[in-house]
């Protein structure tokens, strides 16, 4: 560790509040390698002197870094680096849709210790019912009710992440539908699940509210497709949120044609409106999916599927045949994190950070508008497909990985573009650096956003 009292900090230019710019400068100092994981940072007074700011500004900056999981304060001992800092060299990955780390090591350790003390009570020595023992289903139902929508523990299945829930829902519908309808581009995991089950995916046109009911109706009239896969909040990859009115219109079309909806609500934590879920609007027509990977941590493989009530038993039998279900240890760790309120704090952090990051992307890339200014973990830059592929290649050459169109493409004119996962870099400064590179690439006429 360097001499603590010789710290010199130059604040990045910009209009943001002083404490945010100071937080960024401290992050950069950590990322430069000067302070590693576990090192003690200079005292607040030394930082104040080195950056030429008031001590109150340092306190606010350190609080912010603590919320982001970069540092932790220990009473009477000082402030320590808790997250390994991202190098400022090397590439920035905006391809993987992971949230920044919001559960720190101490929280995981405490939850794991508590989980270990409770594992003795898991039924059958570790084999609860397929799809979750009742005790764990009650935990998941309470989490859902608190964070999104009411759910009965007897109706749901605990799954191995959201991906497993998608595959289960599609498998359940496979015999009664000629494919699955979705928008022009969709989550790559949903594409993989449909392919695995031999289901065709149909692209339905959309606007900034979501899928167009008339286009859906046409598809139902022309084909025997009777299933939809939708991500109504932060559609992946387009990043829009569907209004309740549009949901009601889509449901109306589905009722007329006796079609089912797979509602992937994994990004519910970012909802900007108070629209009810499809599940609340028509429970027996909807396979509802959620999980903790985007709102808490992908390190716990915990998802949930709430199918139409009549399909639960058949789906539990399917889970029995495939995996038996999520690991009881994961579930106990999740339970301990919920009890400690980590999910509620994570929600505040993620929402606030997503709003900042979307704002940053909008400013640096010069976007006239974004579908969810209140914050979405990803945004989409629409371009002709060939231009988008070239853009992704050019970005990679310059150290920024983005999602190319072929990873998410279903079909139709609107499927060209690249996705940027804004929450993936742990530090906002890494994102900013990546966005400046992308803005530079975009400024050449080949990459005009359409």
Ligand X SMILES: Cc1ncc(COP(=O)(O)O)c(C=O)c1O
Contacts with ligand X by CB under 6 A lie at 97, 161-163, 187, 189, 231, 236, 264, 266, 291, 293, 298, 303
Least separation in angstroms between residue 98's CB and ligand X is 8
Q: How far apart are CA 260 and CA 285, in angstroms?
A: 5
283 vs 298 by CB, closer to ligand X: 298
Q: How far apart are CA 162 and CA 145, in angstroms?
A: 17
Burial label, 405 (beta-carbon count in 10 A; 0-12, 13-18, 19+): buried
Question: Measured between alpha carbons, how far apart are the two ends of the chain, in Å?
Answer: 49
Q: Which residue is nearest to ligand X (CB)?
A: 161
Q: Is the backbone of residue 436 left (phi > 0), alpha (psi -120 to 50) or beta? A: alpha
23 vs 289 by CB, closer to ligand X: 289
220 vs 267 by CB, closer to ligand X: 267
Helix (H) or strand (E) holding 78: strand 78-81
130 vs 291 by CB, closer to ligand X: 291
Least separation in angstroms between residue 409's CB and ligand X is 15
What residues have CB less than 8 Å from 369, skipping those under 6 apart? Answer: 362
Q: Count the neighbouring beta carbons within 10 Å of the beta carbon of residue 146.
A: 10
Least separation in angstroms between residue 265's CB and ligand X is 9
Q: Residue 104, Cα to own-chain centre: how many angstroms? A: 17
177 to 167, 271, 383: CA distances (angstroms): 15, 30, 32
350 vs 364 by CB, closer to ligand X: 350
Least separation in angstroms between residue 193's CB and ligand X is 10
58 vs 292 by CB, closer to ligand X: 292
| CB 290, CB 262: distance < 8 Å | no
102 vs 266 by CB, closer to ligand X: 266
Least separation in angstroms between residue 263's CB and ligand X is 11
Least separation in angstroms between residue 182's CB and ligand X is 11
| CB 348, CB 99: distance < 8 Å | no
170 vs 364 by CB, closer to ligand X: 170
Least separation in angstroms between residue 343's CB and ligand X is 14
Alpha helices in 150-243 (DSSP H): 161-173, 188-196, 213-222
Q: How far apart are CA 58 and CA 25, in angstroms?
A: 11
SS3 207: strand
Task: Work out whether strand 417-421 and strand 378-382 pair parallel, antiparallel, or are unpaired.
Answer: antiparallel
35 vs 267 by CB, closer to ligand X: 267
Least separation in angstroms between residue 181's CB and ligand X is 16
Least separation in angstroms between residue 333's CB and ligand X is 15
Least separation in angstroms between residue 397's CB and ligand X is 25
Least separation in angstroms between residue 436's CB and ligand X is 26
270 vs 447 by CB, closer to ligand X: 270
- Two tokens, residue 152: 């009965």
Q: Count the neighbouring beta carbons within 10 Å of the beta carbon of residue 89.
A: 9
Where does 109-264 show beta strands of DSSP type E? 157-159, 180-182, 201-203, 206-207, 210-211, 227-230, 260-264
311 vs 419 by CB, closer to ligand X: 419
Helix axes 134-147, 342-365, angle to 10 degrees: 50
| CB 182, CB 228: distance < 8 Å | yes
What residues have CB less than 8 Å from 125, skipping those under 6 apart? Answer: none
């Amino acid at each position: 560790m360097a001499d603590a009292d010789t710290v010199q900090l130059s604040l990045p230019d910009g209009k943001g509040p002083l404490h945010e710019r100071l937080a960024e400068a401290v992050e950069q100092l950590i990322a430069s390698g000067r302070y590693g994981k576990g090192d003690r940072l200079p005292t607040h007074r030394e930082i104040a002197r080195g950056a030429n700011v008031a001590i109150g500004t340092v306190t606010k900056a350190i609080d912010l870094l603590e919320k982001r999981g970069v540092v932790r304060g220990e009473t009477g001992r000082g402030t320590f680096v808790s997250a390994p800092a991202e190098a400022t060299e090397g590439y920035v990955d905006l391809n993987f849709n992971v949230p920044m780390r919001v559960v720190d090591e101490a929280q995981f350790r405490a939850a794991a210790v508590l989980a270990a003390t409770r594992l003795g009570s898991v039924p059958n020595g570790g084999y609860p019912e397929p799809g979750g023992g009742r005790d764990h289903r009650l935990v998941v139902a309470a989490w859902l009710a608190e964070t999104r929508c009411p759910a009965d523990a007897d109706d749901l299945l605990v799954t191995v992440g959201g991906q497993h829930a998608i595959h289960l829902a599609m498998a359940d519908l496979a015999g009664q539908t000629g494919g699955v309808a979705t928008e022009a581009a969709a989550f790559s995991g949903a594409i993989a699940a449909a392919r695995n089950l031999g289901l065709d995916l149909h692209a339905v046109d959309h606007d900034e509210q979501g899928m167009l009911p008339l286009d859906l109706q046409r598809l139902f009239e022309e084909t025997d497709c009777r299933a939809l896969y939708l991500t109504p909040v932060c559609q992946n990859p387009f990043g829009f949120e569907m209004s309740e009115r549009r949901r009601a219109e889509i449901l109306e079309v589905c009722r007329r044609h006796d079609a089912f909806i797979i509602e992937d609500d994994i990004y519910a934590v970012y909802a900007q409106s108070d629209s009810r879920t499809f599940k609340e609007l028509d429970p027996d027509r909807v396979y509802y999916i959620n999980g903790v990977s985007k709102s808490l941590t992908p390190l716990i493989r915990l998802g949930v599927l709430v199918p139409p009530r009549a399909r639960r038993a058949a789906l539990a039998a399917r889970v029995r045949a495939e995996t038996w279900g999520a690991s009881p240890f994961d579930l106990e760790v999740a339970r301990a994190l919920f009890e400690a309120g980590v999910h509620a704090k994570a929600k505040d952090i993620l929402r606030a950070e997503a709003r900042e990051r979307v704002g940053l992307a909008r400013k640096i890339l010069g976007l006239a508008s974004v579908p969810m200014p209140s914050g979405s973990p990803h945004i989409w830059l629409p371009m002709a497909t060939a231009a988008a592929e070239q853009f992704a290649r050019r970005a990679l050459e310059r150290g920024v990985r983005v999602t190319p169109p072929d990873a998410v493409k279903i079909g139709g004119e609107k499927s060209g573009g690249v996705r940027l996962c804004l929450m993936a870099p742990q530090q906002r400064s890494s994102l900013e650096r990546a966005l400046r590179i992308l803005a530079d690439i975009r400024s050449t006429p080949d990459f005009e956003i359409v």
